[in-house]
Chain A
C-alpha cells in the first residue's frame, strides 16, 4: 500500500485556488477604493482566526482566552519600541517571542484542565492579564501606552503596516496549509479525532497540542501587535477585550471549524455583515450571537463544512489518500 498526496501528480492544482484567491484579494485591496484600515483589520482577524482554528478545529482544544495574546503582542511591541527605541517592524518579532513564552507558561498552568475547564481557565488567565496591565505603572496602567511617534515614518507607515498585515495573513494561510499536509498535520487530526487512539500509535499528544497552542498564540500576538501599531495606542480594556475572542469564535464556527477554507469564508461573512449592519448597533451584536447559536445547532460544521460534506470540494486539499497495491489485499 503506497501513500501519496491527493493531487501530487499535479502539484500546482493543489495551491492554485489559494494563489487565485490571494491574487484576487490583493488586487481588489489595491485597486478598489476600499478602506485600507478595514481591509487590514480583516487580514489580521483572519490570521488570528486561522491560528485559533489550528488549535480548535485540528486539535480539539476550544480556547476562550486567545485575546490574552492579542493584548500581550500589542504591549510587547509598544514597550519594546518606547523603551528600547527599536523599529516597530522588528519589534513584531518581540511580540512573537513574548507570546510564545507566555503560551508555554500558560500551558504549564493549564495542562491539567480538560475540555470546558481549559476553555474557561484560559479565559481567567486573559482576564488576569487585563487586570495586571491595568495596574502596572510601567506599562501605563489603565491609561495605556501611546506609541513613540518618532519611531515611525508617517509617509510610509500606513502602507508598511498594510503590507505586513497582508504578509501575515498569507504566511499564516500557507504555513498552516503546509503544516497540515505534513506528518504533524496528520498527527494533529488524529489527536482531534481520537486522543487515546493517537497516543496508542505513538503520537506525542501533549507535545503536538503544545505546538499548536504556541503557534496559535504567536499568530494572535503578531496580529495584535500589528493592529495596535496601526492605531498607535493600546490600553488594557481594548487589547485584552474578549471581543477579539468573540470575533475569532464567530468566524471559525460560522465559516467551519477544522477546515482551511472556513476561516476565509467566516471572515468575509463577519465583516460583510458588520459593514452592512453598521448602523444597527446593538441589534447587530445580538444578531451575531444568535447566528453563532443557529449555526451550531443546524450546521455545526459551519458554512464551508456543510458545503464540503455535500460537494467534496477542497480549495486547500490536505487529505491523504491511500492507494491499494492490488485488489486482493
Chain B
C-alpha cells in the first residue's frame, strides 16, 4: 500500500474513530459521566454481530439494526440502573464502576467466545476494489466510511432539529432548569447514554468488518475515543469527526511505516496536540452545533 493509499485508508477508518469519540463525548458532555467500559461495549457489539451472522439466517442490514437496538437498550439500562445513582460533581465513582464493568464484560467475552482474534466476514465484498486517479481503494472501507458520515449527519440532525436532541443539549447546559420545564433528568440521561452506546456500537460493528478484534481490544478502542475527544474538542460534532479523521490518518500511515507499532503513532499525535492546545481539559461541556 502506498503512502497515499494509506492516507486515504486512514481517512476512511477515521470516520469510525470519530464515532467512537462521539459516543464518549456525548456521555461526557451531557451527563459528565466517564464510561470506562466504552471500549468493551464497542467490542461487545462486534461479538453480537458475529453471533447473529453465524447463528441466524438474518441478513447483514437486519443484524446491524438488531445490534443497534441491543446497544441502545444496554446503554439505557446502564445509565438508569447504575450510573444515575452516581451522577454528580465527583466523577470518581462513575469511573470506578465502569472500570469494574469493563473487567466484567471483557472476561465474560473471553468466557463465552474465547480469547481468539476474529473479524466479521462479509463475503466477497471484502475483496472488491476500485481505482480512482491511479489509487486503489477498497469498496468495503469506502462504504463503511459513508456509513460513518451518515451516522454523523443523522446525529447532527437529531441534536439540532429534534426536541430530544435539544433536550440533550439543554441537559448539558443546565439540567436543573431542564427539570423545571417538565423533563425528568434521569430519563434524558438514560436516552443520551443509549444514543452514545448505539453510535459506538455501530462503529464497532463496522470496524469489525474491516479489522480484527478480540475481547482485549476494548482498551485500545477506549483510548482511541478519548484521544479523538481531546484532539477534536469536547462539545462539537465536527470536532469529533475531524479529530477522528486526523487520528485515523496518523494511525494508518504510522502502521504503514512501522507495522509493529500498534496504536503508538496515534498516542504520539495525541500528546503533540495535547501540548499544543493551550487549555485546561475538564469535563465541562456545552454541546455546540456541528
Contacts and interface: CB of A to CB of B under 8 A. Distances in A.
B280 A112 contact: yes
B96 A292 contact: yes
B68 to A, nearest CB: 26
A286 B34 contact: no
A215 interface: no
A123 B38 CA distance: 15
Given A62-B92, A124-B270, A286-B103, A116 B227 contact: no
Dominant secondary structure of chain A at its interface with chain B: helix
B129 interface: no
B283 A297 contact: no
Determine which residue in B103, B105, B110, B226 has the highest number of CB atoms from chain A within 10 A of its CB, and name it.
B103
B128 to A, nearest CB: 33
Given A62-B95, A109-B275, A296-B97, A128 B82 contact: no
A135 B223 contact: no
A127 B107 contact: no
Contact of A124 (B226, B260, B279): B226
Nearest to A120: B226
B77 interface: no
A113 B263 CA distance: 21
B227 A124 contact: yes
Given A289-B100, A300-B93, A135 B280 contact: no
Interface in B34-77: 34, 36
Contacts of A242: 219
A296 B281 contact: no
A42 interface: no
A135 B277 CA distance: 28
A117 B93 contact: no
Interface in A70-127: 109, 112-117, 119-121, 123-124, 127
Contacts of A253: 96
Interface in A275-294: 282-283, 285-286, 288-293
Contacts of A114: 280-283
Nearest to B271: A109
B99 interface: yes
Interface string B184-208: 0000000000000000000000000
B279 A116 contact: no
A128 B268 contact: yes
Given A116-B34, A124-B226, A246 B267 contact: no
A64 interface: yes
Dominant secondary structure of chain B at its interface with chain A: helix
B28 interface: yes
Determine which residue in A116, A142, A249 has the highest number of CB atoms from chain B within 10 A of its CB, and name it.
A116
Contacts of A135: 258, 260-261, 264
B150 interface: no
Contacts of A288: 103
A106 B279 CA distance: 17
B86 interface: yes
A131 interface: yes
B108 interface: yes
A127 B204 CA distance: 21
B111 interface: yes
B79 interface: no
Interface string B255-290: 000101111100110110011010111110000000
Interface of A: 56, 60, 62, 64, 109, 112-117, 119-121, 123-124, 127-128, 131-132, 134-135, 142, 242, 246, 249, 253, 282-283, 285-286, 288-293, 296-297, 300
6 contacts: A62-B95, A115-B34, A116-B28, A128-B267, A289-B102, A293-B101
Given A131-B261, A289-B106, 9 more contacts: A64-B99, A117-B230, A119-B34, A120-B223, A131-B262, A131-B267, A135-B264, A286-B108, A296-B96
